Each structure stands twice: as structure tokens, then as C-alpha cells.
Structure 1
Amino acid sequence: MARLLGWIVVCLLGTQPLCAQTQGVGCDGPVVLKDGRSGACTELAQTIAGLLEEPAVARDHWGIAVVGMDDAPIYSVNEGQLFQPASNEKLFTTAAAMALLGEKTTYQTKVLARGVFADGGKLTGHLVLVGNGDANLSGRVLPYVAPVPGQKAAAADEGPVPLRYLEEMADQVAATGLESVEGDVIGDDTAFPWEPYAQDWVIDDAVWGYGAPVSALSINDNQIKVTVTPGDVVGAPASVEIDPAVPYYTLDTVVTTGAVKSGSTVQMERAPGSKVLRIYGTVGLRGQPDVEEIAIQDPAEYAAVALKGMLEARGIHVSGVAKARHRVLLDAESFGRESGAVGEATGVSPQQRIEPADDAAFEVAMRGEEKTLATHTSVELLQDVVVTNKMSQNLHAELLLRQLGAARGRDGTIAQGARVVRQFLLSAGIDKDDFVFFDGSGLSGHDLVTPRATVRLLQYAATQPWFADWNSSLPVGGVDGSLEGRFMKAPLKGKVWAKTGTLGEARALSGYVECASGRTVIFSIMVGNHLPQTNADRDVTNKIVAAIAAAN
């Protein structure tokens, strides 16, 4: 108690360096604020100091920066220290995409026929489904619409089917009169090099939809839904349903029905590179089904398998197989040098090759004609940015990063995308040592950023012509996205626009809050090394945002 009282006395005397040294909590800026109000900074510092001393979070590592919309400092603690941003990194990726790609940009997916055409609708050659980085070849309804309070979300089977756009392209192919293909159906994702995972993505994440591999030909968010439903009696086998029902994974299933109210112990495993999905455990009698989103091992191959099945269902005979076509890097400069984070890159393009290697049939196809049989144009980039930030969609952020590399860098690699983002952030006035990004989503454990870099980005964005649209992509407290269940009551409901972030024992929240005075301020709150399986730091973060709003 004496320690805290001593700190308060020093703060009230206005000796700012000692405030920071005593508790690690700063009162940046004068105690008498520009608008004439006095004491607000000191009161805010006292409030936050008390929150950070709560036993459940006292050992956590905290970084906080709060500034006005004019970048005037309001409060900070450890603002220049590096933290894992988790999904706060999507702020940086999507801002760069809005500024450098443009919110109206679209991407086109095509079905090409390559080979020799004969009477009777016969193609000797291949059908090639060519991806160009469209993130929304799925059943998602766009534009994004916030949920209606009190209204139950529509069941999945009431909305568009997950592979609807692939079905539409299959219809277009059938409408051309094609009757047979003496060759393969190829999923071609060579628009970007085949780099499915960024550095330091956790191997456990690769099983689940949120850690799905990245491909220029992405389909249904590169994930499938697996539903495990209990049987009619205890001990009976549970049923397992896959949606979409594409014959891609081989299931190794041993799931039984447990006792009433026993819950679910269902586990799902897949070895790296394997297409065998092992499902085991129990699910309680009369309990809710266990529903999981499982990542697709090779999205381009999966898309080819799905399209081949659709064509055959429309009476088009395909003699060959469904397979993927990748562009593989054979060598590369160090990520740090190529991304610009460490030293200067040589600028030499890495050696590459196409896999699998061209076979005789493909050579025949390349000597023949090429016809476009079907096309699908994506939604505009802004709609995808909204999905990326509202839903914290990792795959979509990664595709934006690769689009940035392809459009503004040397190629659609992770490193080139990171280099483009880095140059954008430097031009926005962010210190070169305040961030390092190894991906676009924040899944990499190597990603680091300071709170002051984050508030600088947010302040810079507020001065740009694309700000209003970008700001509308952020989750709104108590209303939608990843903040739908936070800040649910007045005075903060509908007054917080911010991006969440969670990765292991790191958590973050950064954005804008409309304060009690009507003034909007910018904040970034980052936490490192909190105890596992606790939400205490998230609750304290919410209280800090409330304190910021009340004090300003």
C-alpha cells in the first residue's frame, strides 16, 4: 500500500519519469490537457496501475499506447517494447492492401481447355482450373452483414452450398458442348509459389481450418466441416458426416456413443502430408454433435477432385485423374533479407520449377489450342477486407499478403509480400525496428510489433482517403465480428472499433474508442506471457478500454 501511495504522490506532483519508473506506468503529456481539463491523465494512470496489479494478471507482460486522433500522446506503458501481435497483424496487412491494391480490385478464376478439339465435343488434352488468389470461392454470403440481435443464425444448409461457384463453372463448361476429356483435370495454383505455411506456424494448427494451407486456388476457405453425431444408444457407433462430400480424405473412424451428459471427447488427427483423417473418442448420448473445421491438405488438388466429379455428374467423361499443379521454389534468399527486415536483398529471382513435371499428355495439350470454358470473378477487395477483419480470417489475410507481393513486389511470395508491407509501413512513419512480420495473419511465432507502431498505423490510416471503408471492416464492440460478445453494454456498446488478437499466451486489442466526451482516441493494448487457459487478461483489457473512454 505504501508503494502505491508513494507512486500516486509522485504522479500528483507531476514528476513523470518517476511515475514511469515506480510502476512502469507513464503519464505521457502534461497533466493539464490541451482542452483545459486537468487530472485526467493522472486518474487514468492510477486506474490502469490498479488494474495491472490484480493478482491474476500482475505477472503478465503489458504494453499499452493511447493517443489522440492527432497523434498527441495520452498514456503509455512499455509502448516501445515488442509483443506478438497475433491477429492484430491483420490491421497492417489489410491497410496495405487498401492503400496499394485498391478496394475495387477483383480476381478471376478460369477453367481452360488445353489440347486438340475434335467433332463430337471431344478434347484430347487437359482441363485446367486456374486460381488467381480469390479468397471467396465458398458459400459465404457477401457483403458481410452483422448479426441481428436476438435472431438465431441461419443453419448452414439454409445458405448457399459451399462449392457453389465451382458448380457454376461446371455448368458453364457443360454448356459449351464438351462431352469427353482424354486427359486430366488439373488444379493450377501457380499464380503464387507453393508456400502453404509461413515460418514458425505451429504444426498442431495445420489440422484445423484456421491454420489451413495457403494456395492461389483456394476453395471453401480451404477447409471441410466434420460433424460427429451420437448414435441412438450408449455404445453405438457415432455417425461422421463430411461437408462438402468430396472424396478427398480417407477416414479412419472409431467414435462411439457415451453416456448421457458425458459430453464429447472426440479427437481429430492428420499427419503432415497425409490424406488420412483419424477420428476417435466418444460423444454423449442425446448431446449436441461435435462439429469441427478441418484443413484441406492440398487445396488445388481438392478443387480439381471436386470439379472432376461435377463434370462427370453432368455427363462429361474424363479419362484421366484430378491433380494439382504447383510452382515450387528451389532456392531462396533468407527471409530477413528478402523481406527487407535485415539488410538488402540481392534482387535475384529464385530458381523455380513446376510440379508435377510436365508429362507427355500435357506437352500434347500445350501444342494444341487453349480455350476459356468458364470464368468466375471475385467480389471487390473491400468486401474481402471486411471478412478478414470482422471474422479474423487467417487464410484471407495470407492471400492479401501474396497479392501484395505479386502486384507491388517481384512475385507472390510470403517474403515479397512482407517486403511490400514493410515499405508501406515505413512510408507511414513507423520506425523500422518497431515491427517484423513473417506472414500476413499473425499466426507466426516470429511476428513482433510494438504498441506505438500499432497506434501510429491507426493514426496514419485515419488520414487516408480509404479510411472510412477500412474502419468499417473492424469489429464493433457488442455488435459484430470478434467483438460481438465484448463491450455489450452502454456506454461502450457500438463505440469501440478494434481488432482482436489471440495466439498461445499472447493477446491484443487495438483500435478506436469513442469516449465519454464524444472524442475518439486510438489505443493499442498488448499482453505477453499470460497464464494458459485464462481470460483474466482479456477482462482487464476490457476494463482498460472502459477507463480510457471514461477519462477522455
Structure 2
Amino acid sequence: MRYIIFLLFLIFNFSAYSSEILKYEIESIIREINNEDDAKVGILIKSLSEEGFTFMYNHRDPFIPASNQKLITTVSALANLSPDFKYKTILATDGNVKNGILYGNLYLIGGGDPSLTVQDLEDMVKKLKEYGINRVEGNLIGDNSYFSEEGIGQGWPEDDLNYCFTARFSGLSVNENCLKVTVNIKNGKVYASMDPLNNYYQFVYSIKFSKKAGNVILKVEGNKIIIEGKASSKRSINLESSIPVNHPSMFTLSVLSKILDKNGIKVLGKMYLGKAASYKYLVIHQSRPLRELIKKANKDSDNFYAEQIFRTIGKEVYGEGSTYTSARAIIDTLRKMNITTENIRIYDGSGLSRYNATTPEALVKVLEYIYKTPYFYDFFESLAISGVDGTLKHRLNDQFLKGRIIAKTGYIKKVKNLSGYVKASNDEVFVFSILVNDFKTTEIANKLQEKICSILVKHPRMVGIGNLNTHNKN
């Protein structure tokens, strides 16, 4: 009996001593970083074992989250929509089909699906052909009303709006609202193509040929893609560019129009946007379940997926797919998790906005919450794994750290964040959030995050909770 008491005494004191050492090591790293760069740092680290190690540093201060915002978005989506949620895109009519002719309008009704592709639209049109339809007497109408907004978020960086990672959100979208343009100039001629094919954009050529070649550029003005510059008639030029479409719902409808033409279905009426009121289903396309879609948002840090999922929360909870309702629904969800929302501001779902604010405490509590739910593995599998995949494929990838940090990165100008889980060498699990704002160089933020993660992995504790892979799915 005395031996058991003595052993428990040793275990308790070693654990306490170990915690103090770990705390000292982390504080030393913070002091070192502050000496190099007076960055704003916020940290919360917590062991998921009972009465385990906790470290706090500015943990309730507001920080710009960058893509760590996606953690809040995707956890809230799982909580409000369920991992089985599927998006629907519908072809419908207000008329009737007779002798291969659709007497009425053909509607394309968007459901906010971030994953809808040209191939999906082609499959839907093939099913129309199975009805024997080869002509539409009415109009081709696109319904994008699933979201009450279309465009970009408040506080998105203006310098980045010409890139596809800031593609506009919309209730009716295709190919992540990104258009690929290829230009070949050869033997004094210009060949240009678009993917996907559409009726929305038009090429305008303004190329001058001369003996000496100059610069050839692409620029977009409204629905015109202008190719301009100087080219040599004796030299070939190949250009490839990807551009975010400026009117996603109309663009998507125009892609469908091209597909209908290709499949021999002629639409006699006009093409425009409008709300479908009374209609009958012709074809329904369903997306993969939400548990699969959040992998793109988190593991690959796909902004478009995050924005579509974000507005879906507001639509499904409050009946309106807007920034306001989605932010409100997420704040309500955080409060149900007993998270203080005083220093939290939500302007988008992706973290592109510099108006967003969150705290290390909020992020850790979100990660703690989902860990204790039946949805944990759906969420866990959406995160990047150090040295293995996603945005952590080339970070924290030495032999000892590889596969032990499962987390979400976040980066915009002067913001570099990392939040997630660490599996220590003894299989103890830490949940953490390390937020760094207002730094001079990204190397400072990287060093802070990587040193702390390394210490957590290499610092064994006496008490463990087992490997994450044994977490109960039920």
C-alpha cells in the first residue's frame, strides 16, 4: 500500500514538474521571437487528458484569423447541417413535354453547391435527353436565389481580386467560378479558347504584329476578354491564365446553354436570371456529402468552398443565405459551445477578410467541442497533416514531426496562424491555437509555430488518452 501511495506521489510530482518545464520552454520561445520581431502573438494550448497541461498567452485577445476562420465555418456547418448534408442543383419546368418539345420555360435552380462542375451539368442535360427533349419553346432561366448575395466579401484584399482564390460566391456556380483562358499566337494568327465553353465572355483581339515582339497581356472588362500587345509574326507565344468570373450565375447559365446546344437541344426563347415560382422537377443533381466537401475547405484551404458553405448555414438555419444571417447563426452556435463571443467578428467564411476577428480561446474551444462529438472523424479527416498533405505537406515534415500535427493553416498579409491537434510521442493529444499578427517576416511566425509544435510532440507526459485513431465514432 505504501509503495502504491509512493508511486502515485512520484507520478503526480513528475507530471507537475513536466508541465512546468513545458511551460518554461514555450515562454522561452515567445521571448526569443519577441526579441527578433515585436509581433502580436496569442496562444492557447491544452491537453485533452483530464487535468492535463494548459498554456495561455493573450488567449482572449482578438486576432485576424485568416484561414483559421475555416475551422469555425466548417465546425458550425457540421453542427447545423450534419455531415450527410448534400447540395441540390435542379433542372425544372413550368410547362409540359410533348413529342420532344418542352412547352414552357427551362429553369436551372442553384442550391449553392461549391462542387458543381461542367461534367455535372452535362450529365443533367443527358438525362433531359432521356425525356426525348430536343427543343424548348420557352426561355432558359437561371435561379440564383438560394443565396441573397453574389460577389465578394467585405474586407477582401483588392490586390487579389483578379485571382481565382478570391472567386465570387453565388447560389448558382460552376467550376468554382473560375475560367481558364489559353492563347496561342503563331504565324501571325491568334488562337484563343476558354474552359468551360460559355456564351458570356467574348474575345477581343488587339494584337499588333511587327519584327520585334513585345508584351502580350490579357485583361477583362465586363464580359470582354481583351488580348492586346505586340507580337512577332515569326515567333510563337503561348499564354495561359485563370480568371474569376465577374457574374457567376449568368456565367453558369451560359455554360448550360452551350451544353444544351452541343446535345442538340435548341432553346427558342431568351436567357436570363429569374426566380422559379411554380415548377416541376425534371432532373436533380446531388453533391457529395458535406463531410467530403469540407476537405477542400480545410485541407486545401479552398476559399470558394468555405464561402459557399458559410452562406449555406444562414440559408438552412434562418432561411436566408447572406453574410449577416450566416454570421448570426455561427455566433449562436459558438455561444451554445459556451464560447465567449465578445472579441469575435465574422465577415466571411474563408478568412480572406481583414475585418474578421477571433481569439485563440475560441478556436481551441471549437476544436475541443468537435472532438467530443460523433462528427469528430468527419472533421478530423478534413484537416491537413504535417509532412503528408494539404497546406502542411511541406511544413513540420521532419521524420519525428511528420503525421503528428493535424491542423489548419492561415495566411494573409502580416497574418500567419496555425490551429489544430498535436499527437505527442506518448500519444497524448494537445489541442492548440498559435496566432501571429503584425509580424515583419513570415519566418518569425513559422519559427514560433514550428518550435512549439516540436516541443509538444517531443515532450512526453505520464498521462495519455490514447491515439486519435481510437476515438469513438459512435
- The two structures share one fold, judged by TM-score above 0.5: yes
Compared CA separation, residues 82 and 292, structure 1 to 2 (3 A): farther
| 2:269 matched residue in structure 1 | 320
Q: In the aligned structure 2, how far is the partner of 1:204 from the partner of 1:31?
A: 55
1:244 is aligned to 2:196? yes
Cα deviations by residue, 1:253-310 (Å, 9 ceiling, x for unpaired):
66899xxxx9x98765445xx2223456799999996644311222221221111222
Q: In the aligned structure 2, how far is the partner of 1:44 from the partner of 1:287?
A: 57
User: What are structure 1's unaligned runs of at least 5 residues?
Assistant: 1-29, 139-162, 326-353, 355-361
Q: In the aligned structure 2, how far is the partner of 1:270 from the partner of 1:423?
A: 41
Which residues of 2 match residues 146-157 of structure 1 at below 5 A? none
Q: In the aligned structure 2, how far is the partner of 1:450 from the partner of 1:216?
A: 30
Which residues of 2 match residues 280-299 of structure 1 at below 5 A? 291-299=240-248
Q: In the aligned structure 2, how far is the partner of 1:288 from the partner of 1:544?
A: 48
Q: In the aligned structure 1, how far is the partner of 2:171 from the partner of 2:65?
A: 25
TM-score between both structures, scaled by the size of structure 2: 0.84
Compared CA separation, residues 256 and 69, structure 1 to 2 (3 A): farther
Moved more, 316-325 or 471-480: 316-325
The alpha-carbon deviation at position 252 of structure 1 amounts to: 4.3
Which residues of 2 match residues 329-478 of structure 1 at below 5 A? 370-478=279-387
The alpha-carbon deviation at position 247 of structure 1 amounts to: 3.4
Q: In the aligned structure 1, how far is the partner of 2:236 from the partner of 2:434?
A: 39
Which residues of 2 match residues 11-90 of structure 1 at below 5 A? 33-34=15-16, 39-54=21-36, 58-70=37-49, 72=52, 74-90=54-70
| 1:336 matched residue in structure 2 | none
1:174 is aligned to 2:125? no
Q: In the aligned structure 2, how far is the partner of 1:470 from the partner of 1:177?
A: 43
| Contact 1:266 1:282 survives alignment (8 Å) | yes
Cα deviations by residue, 1:451-499 (Å, 9 ceiling, x for unpaired):
1211121122211121122111101111111111112221111111010
Which residues of 2 match residues 526-541 of structure 1 at below 5 A? 526-531=435-440, 534-541=442-449
Q: In the aligned structure 2, how far is the partner of 1:63 from the partner of 1:266?
A: 46
Q: What SS does the aligned partner of 2:408 have?
A: strand
Q: What SS does the aligned partner of 1:392 have?
A: coil
| 2:110 matched residue in structure 1 | 131
Compared CA separation, residues 433 and 287, structure 1 to 2 (3 A): farther
Alignment counterpart, residue 205 of structure 1, candidates 126, 139, 160: 160
Cα deviations by residue, 1:402-436 (Å, 9 ceiling, x for unpaired):
22112222422221111111111111121121311
Q: What SS does the aligned partner of 1:82 have?
A: coil
Q: In the aligned structure 1, how far is the partner of 2:321 from the partner of 2:270?
A: 28
Alignment counterpart, residue 276 of structure 1, candidates 201, 204, 224: 224
Give, as a single letter, the amino acid of the residue that structure 2 aligns with 1:429. Answer: N
The alpha-carbon deviation at position 165 of structure 1 amounts to: 0.7
Q: In the aligned structure 1, how far is the partner of 2:151 from the partner of 2:186?
A: 41
The alpha-carbon deviation at position 123 of structure 1 amounts to: 2.9
Q: In the aligned structure 2, how far is the partner of 1:113 from the partner of 1:386?
A: 34
Equivalent pairs, count = 446
Compared CA separation, residues 426 and 128, structure 1 to 2 (3 A): same
| Contact 2:404 2:457 survives alignment (8 Å) | no
Compared CA separation, residues 31 and 304, structure 1 to 2 (3 A): farther
Compared CA separation, residues 32 and 415, structure 1 to 2 (3 A): farther
Q: In the aligned structure 1, how far is the partner of 2:208 from the partner of 2:456?
A: 51
Q: In the aligned structure 2, how far is the partner of 1:460 from the partner of 1:321?
A: 51
Q: In the aligned structure 2, how far is the partner of 1:246 from the partner of 1:545?
A: 48
Q: In the aligned structure 1, how far is the partner of 2:439 from the partner of 2:190?
A: 38
Cα deviations by residue, 1:359-378 (Å, 9 ceiling, x for unpaired):
xxx9xxx7xx8432222111
1:194 is aligned to 2:176? no
Q: In the aligned structure 2, how far is the partner of 1:486 from the partner of 1:129?
A: 43
TM-score between both structures, scaled by the size of structure 1: 0.73
Compared CA separation, residues 435 and 282, structure 1 to 2 (3 A): farther
Compared CA separation, residues 40 and 437, structure 1 to 2 (3 A): same
| Contact 2:300 2:390 survives alignment (8 Å) | yes
Compared CA separation, residues 256 and 453, structure 1 to 2 (3 A): farther
Q: What SS does the aligned partner of 1:200 have?
A: coil
| Contact 2:65 2:356 survives alignment (8 Å) | yes
Give, as a single letter, the amino acid of the residue that structure 1 aligns with 2:290. Answer: L
Give, as a single letter, the amino acid of the residue that structure 1 aligns with 2:41. Answer: W
Compared CA separation, residues 189 and 80, structure 1 to 2 (3 A): same
Q: In the aligned structure 1, how far is the partner of 2:141 from the partner of 2:79?
A: 34
Q: What SS does the aligned partner of 2:264 have?
A: coil
Give, as a single letter, the amino acid of the residue that structure 1 aligns with 2:281. Answer: T
| Contact 1:94 1:400 survives alignment (8 Å) | yes
| Contact 1:206 1:213 survives alignment (8 Å) | no
Compared CA separation, residues 248 and 422, structure 1 to 2 (3 A): same
Give, as a single letter, the amino acid of the residue that structure 2 aligns with 1:245. Answer: L
The alpha-carbon deviation at position 512 of structure 1 amounts to: 0.8
The alpha-carbon deviation at position 539 of structure 1 amounts to: 4.2
| Contact 1:207 1:269 survives alignment (8 Å) | no
Alignment counterpart, residue 256 of structure 2, candidates 307, 321, 332: 307
Root-mean-square deviation (CA), in Å? 3.3
The alpha-carbon deviation at position 395 of structure 1 amounts to: 1.7
| Contact 2:84 2:289 survives alignment (8 Å) | yes
Moved more, 447-456 or 403-412: 403-412
User: What are structure 2's unaligned runs of at least 5 residues?
Assistant: 1-11, 461-474
Q: What SS does the aligned partner of 2:104 have?
A: strand
Aligned identity (percent) is: 30
| 2:91 matched residue in structure 1 | 111
Q: In the aligned structure 2, how far is the partner of 1:544 from the partner of 1:105?
A: 37
Give, as a single letter, the amino acid of the residue that structure 2 aligns with 1:177. Answer: G
